[in-house]
């Protein structure tokens, strides 16, 4: 079996070498010639998989993207050509939710507010939005949910307009849908942006095109008071650099890039290929994840709600990502910063011990491991 895998996908040799010969490719410059005689294509979000790329793919039977988003894949073409397709739903949901929590705490610290005093609107309540909702609720934060396509799990849902006008924080977790009734491309256009309340915190870790970046720049240039947290941008990797000046925390589409999130993506493709080939999976994530720098933390009795911020930021502080893009974007470029993103762990890599039952429960809901019997 010949396997072609994106060079930015971790653990490909570890998971896939048993299946055959592996060749790595640059996700931005993959071309049709490279697909000749290839059986399995493993991509990330930056490769457009369509009729042009696959025009010479004479043997291709399996396409997997180690991502949640699928807007780069022409699934109709794959179905028509009898090519199996899978993505990795949920692989990096926890990472994105933790990115939002880290951002919120960083703004709370810099602007001197309590996260519990903010109402957070979540637009798109699928894998990521639901996990974020659980974590925010555990912290005592009120959430407003909007998802016209997902009215499940006994939640109260509001309309887009209600959420956008009532929330102090708006966090976007929709897929990119380019047209139709539930279109999300430019969901935040000039009109919506203009109507936002002053001082709203707008967080986008979904897809760049969900916010009209030119319209957003125009609003900010005319003095609109918004706190912007942007992980994703229109036209990556050639983003609208002028917008950066107005962004409180900017990053290079890495909200999902924890070690766990990326490795889970590879593992899900491995499991799908095993299933397709009637093989029992041999490996699991824990076989390959390194020990975290901080593995155990024992909390003392004085640990308070306020200390959760410090705990969260000891695992992941979004400001380190902002530092990277601010200092190095123009020198190194967007893709270089993504490829060389420092190792980041999820809260679950850290085990917490506390004698306070309520606190232990809250931290468990936030995603930390608990290592005493008080769980």
Ligand X SMILES: O=C(O)[C@H](O)[C@H](O)COP(=O)(O)O
Ligand Y SMILES: NC(=O)c1ccc[n+]([C@@H]2O[C@H](COP(=O)([O-])OP(=O)(O)OC[C@H]3O[C@@H](n4cnc5c(N)ncnc54)[C@H](O)[C@@H]3O)[C@@H](O)[C@H]2O)c1
Q: How many residues bind ligand X (CB under 6 A)?
A: 10
Residue 44's binding partner among ligand Y, ligand X, none (Cβ under 5 to 8 angstroms by kind) is: ligand X
Report CA-CA distances (Å) from 180 to 128, 177, 185: 23, 8, 10
Pairwise CA distance, residues 211 & 246, whole Å: 14
- What does 240-286 look like in DSSP terms, one character per residue? -GGGGGGEEEE-SS-TT--HHHHHHHHHHHHHHHHHHTT------GG
Interactions with ligand X, residue window 54-73 (CB under 6 A):
67-69
Q: Residue 207 annotated as binding?
A: yes
Rounded to a whole number of angstroms, the minimum distance from the CB of residue 160 to ligand Y is: 6
44 in contact with ligand X (CB under 6 A): yes
Pairwise CA distance, residues 61 & 201, whole Å: 44
Rounded to a whole number of angstroms, the minimum distance from the CB of residue 325 to ligand X is: 15
Pairwise CA distance, residues 141 & 120, whole Å: 7
Sign of CA dihedral 110, 112, 115, 118: negative
- Nearest to ligand Y by Cβ — which residue? 126
Rounded to a whole number of angstroms, the minimum distance from the CB of residue 285 to ligand X is: 16
Rounded to a whole number of angstroms, the minimum distance from the CB of residue 120 to ligand Y is: 15
Cβ(24)–Cβ(44) under 8 Å? Answer: no
Q: Residue 258 annotated as binding?
A: no
Return the half-sphere exposure (C-beta side, CA atoms, 13 A cut-off) of residue 108.
23
Interactions with ligand X, residue window 225-254 (CB under 6 A):
253
Cβ(107)–Cβ(119) under 8 Å? Answer: no
Q: Which residues of 204-225 are buried (b: 16+ CB within 10 A; e: fewer)?
A: bbbbbbbbbbebbbebbeeebe
Residue 147's binding partner among ligand X, ligand Y, none (Cβ under 5 to 8 angstroms by kind) is: ligand Y
256 in contact with ligand X (CB under 6 A): yes
Q: Residue 231 annotated as binding?
A: yes
Q: Site for ligand Y (CB under 6 A): which residue of 184, 213, 227, 266?
A: 184
What residues act catalytically? 207, 236, 253
Residue 258's binding partner among ligand X, ligand Y, none (Cβ under 5 to 8 angstroms by kind) is: none
**Only segment of 117-125, 269-277, 297-305, 321-329 that touches ligand Y (CB under 6 A):** 117-125
User: Which two tokens mark 287?
Assistant: 């076989």
Sign of CA dihedral 326, 262, 202, 241: positive
Interactions with ligand Y, residue window 235-274 (CB under 6 A):
253, 255-256
107 in contact with ligand X (CB under 6 A): no
Rounded to a whole number of angstroms, the minimum distance from the CB of residue 66 to ligand X is: 6
Q: Of 258 and 354, which CB lies nearer to ligand Y in the complex structure?
A: 258
Rounded to a whole number of angstroms, the minimum distance from the CB of residue 320 to ligand Y is: 16
The rounded radius of gyration (Å) of the Cα atoms in the chain is 21
Interactions with ligand Y, residue window 279-298 (CB under 6 A):
none
**Burial class of residue 48 (count of CB atoms within 10 Å of its CB; 0-12, 13-18, 19+):** middle
Q: Residue 321 annotated as binding?
A: no
121 in contact with ligand Y (CB under 6 A): no
Cβ(327)–Cβ(346) under 8 Å? Answer: no
Interactions with ligand Y, residue window 64-83 (CB under 6 A):
68-69
127 in contact with ligand X (CB under 6 A): no
Pairwise CA distance, residues 42 & 32, whole Å: 15
Q: Of 115 and 318, which CB lies nearer to ligand X in the complex structure?
A: 318
Binding residues for substrate, by number, are 45, 67
Residues that bind ligand X (CB under 6 A): 8, 44-46, 67-69, 92, 253, 256
Binding site residue list for NAD(+): 147, 205-207, 231, 256
The footprint of ligand Y (CB under 6 A) covers: 68-69, 92-93, 96, 123-129, 146-150, 173-177, 182, 184, 205-207, 231-232, 253, 255-256
């Amino acid at each position: 079996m010949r396997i072609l895998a994106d060079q930015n996908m971790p653990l490909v040799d570890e998971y896939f070498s048993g299946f055959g010969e592996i060749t790595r490719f640059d996700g931005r410059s993959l071309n049709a010639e490279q697909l000749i005689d290839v059986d399995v294509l493993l991509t990330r979000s930056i490769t457009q998989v369509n009729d042009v790329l696959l025009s010479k793919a004479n043997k291709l039977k399996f396409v997997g993207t180690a991502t949640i988003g699928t807007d780069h894949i022409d699934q109709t073409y794959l179905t028509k050509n009898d090519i199996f397709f899978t993505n990795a739903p949920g692989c990096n949901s926890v990472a994105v939710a933790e990115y939002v929590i880290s951002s919120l705490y960083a703004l709370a610290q810099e602007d001197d507010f309590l996260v519990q005093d903010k109402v957070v609107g979540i637009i798109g309540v699928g894998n990521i939005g639901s996990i974020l909702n659980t974590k925010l609720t555990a912290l005592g934060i009120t959430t407003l949910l909007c998802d016209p396509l997902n009215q499940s799990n006994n939640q109260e849902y509001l309309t887009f307009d209600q959420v956008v006008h009532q929330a102090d924080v708006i966090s976007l977790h929709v897929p990119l849908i380019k047209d139709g009734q539930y279109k999300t491309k430019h969901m935040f256009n000039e009109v919506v942006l203009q109507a936002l309340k002053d001082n709203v915190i707008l967080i986008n870790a979904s897809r760049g095109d969900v916010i009209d970046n030119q319209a957003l720049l125009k609003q900010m240039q005319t003095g609109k008071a918004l706190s912007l947290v942007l992980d994703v941008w229109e036209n990556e990797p050639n983003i609208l650099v002028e917008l950066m000046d107005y962004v409180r925390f900017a990053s290079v589409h890495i909200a999902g890039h924890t070690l766990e999130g990326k490795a889970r993506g590879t593992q899900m493709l491995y499991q799908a290929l095993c299933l397709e080939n009637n093989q029992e999976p041999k490996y699991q994530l824990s076989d390959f994840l390194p020990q975290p720098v901080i593995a155990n933390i024992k909390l003392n009795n004085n640990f308070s709600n306020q200390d959760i911020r410090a705990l969260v930021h000891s695992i992941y502080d979004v400001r380190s990502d902002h530092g990277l893009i601010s200092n190095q974007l123009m020198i190194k470029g967007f893709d270089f910063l993504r490829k060389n993103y420092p190792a980041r762990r999820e809260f679950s890599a850290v085990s917490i011990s506390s004698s306070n039952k309520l606190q232990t429960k809250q931290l468990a809901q936030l995603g930390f491991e608990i290592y005493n019997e008080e769980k």
